[in-house]
Amino acid sequence: MLRDMWTISKKDIKEVLFSRGNKRGGLISILVVVGLIGVYFPLFSQDTWFTSPISVLNWAWMPIFMVTSLVTDSIAGERERHTLETLLASRVKDQAILLGKISAAVLYGWGLFMVSLLVGAITINIANWGGPLQFYPLGFFIACAGLSLLLCVFISTIGVFVSLRAPTARIAYQRLSLSMLALVMLPVILVQLLPKGSLAPMLASLETINLQLVFWILGIALLGLDTLFILAALARFKRTRLILE
């Protein structure tokens, strides 16, 4: 089963990297994200890139958001290109197909984020050539790696649900993107509705918050949600139902 999962994942990653035959388009998208998070933003932040976690977290959504393009194409795109029937007619188990497609999106988004973090560290050290070697605080780096992985799993699993019910990959992408945009914009709207003068005390309290505790709470919550949605996806993904649809 693991070999089948890897085969499915490798196929999907190769397709998004080569952008359905356009190798340049896929590589340019990756270089843009790595260039922004790994070069431009670290140079803009300079010293705060390592000392202030917010500097990194502000842009963590970019590679994770790119997961949507891959995962929404996972089922709807196969159906649209009439390759889903061939995949379902194979001897590969349903679980291997589903988990392979989720794994492809996770590896793509999470790998892109981690590479960007490492390139960012290299960029800062080159910019401060001759000074002491700098890197992210170990606890923060591990927390970023863990939370981004869990978040990629969450988005990928939700994307599979959307892709299962969408007639085309474009519609699936629009639905998932709008949902994610709504989640991002909701806090911004709520902040605008706060009474005047209440924002400054809230920001001051954030400076004293226990980030380690927050990371643990978020990690446990995401792990629970990931487990729940993966089990639900396994129950929903049945080749007999997909063939009839």
Q: Quick check: 8 and 101 in contact, CB under 8 A?
A: yes
Q: Give the integer Cα–Cα distance in Å for 102 and 79.
A: 17
Look at residue 206 in the predicted model and tell me its pLDDT. 62
Tell me the whole-structure pTM to 2 decimals: 0.83
30-58, pLDDT tens digit by residue?
888 888 888 888 888 777 777 776 666 66
Kindly report the average pLDDT of the chain as a whole number. 80
User: How many independent structural domains does the chain possess?
Assistant: 1
More confident residue, 12 or 102: 102
More confident residue, 169 or 21: 169
More confident residue, 83 or 115: 115
Q: How many residues does the chain have?
A: 245
Q: Which domain holds residue 186?
A: 2-244
The values of phi and psi at residue 197, to 5°, are 90, -10
Q: Give the integer Cα–Cα distance in Å for 126 and 42.
A: 11
Please state, as a whole number, how many other Cβ atoms lie within 10 Å of the Cβ of residue 172: 28
* Distance, first Cα to last Cα, the chain: 25
